[in-house]
Amino acid sequence: MGSIVVAALVILAVFAFFKVPFSDNMKYFLVAFVPAIVLLRYYAKNLQLMQTSKGIMITLSLLLVAFIVFLVRSHDVALS
């Protein structure tokens, strides 16, 4: 899951470079999950490592749900 951390750091660096407020734009950190999804596809399709793919899929799903719950709880994402 290091790819999520690296992608989140890149997004944070872009925010810092353009002086964008961090707390108002938390939903853009959902893009940090894209590299992990691409890695999951690579493991499943090309390397055929199904045990690794299952582990990554479960971990990625839990992290994504936790992040979405955090966004909803922090009122960054309007539900209506």
The model's confidence at residue 80, banded by pLDDT at 50, 70 and 90, is very low
The model's confidence at residue 44, banded by pLDDT at 50, 70 and 90, is confident
pLDDT tens digits for 53-78?
A: 888 889 999 999 998 888 878 765 55
Distances (CA, A) of 49 to 10, 34, 44, 56, 58: 28, 19, 6, 11, 14
Distances (CA, A) of 5 to 48, 51, 75: 25, 22, 23
pLDDT tens digits for 5-32?
A: 899 899 989 988 998 887 778 888 888 8
Averaged confidence pLDDT in the chain: 84
Long-range contacts formed by 74-79: CB under 8 A, 24+ apart: 74/26, 76/23, 76/24, 76/26, 76/27, 77/27
Q: Tell me the whole-structure pTM to 2 decimals.
A: 0.71
How far the first Cα of the chain sits from its last, in Å, is: 32
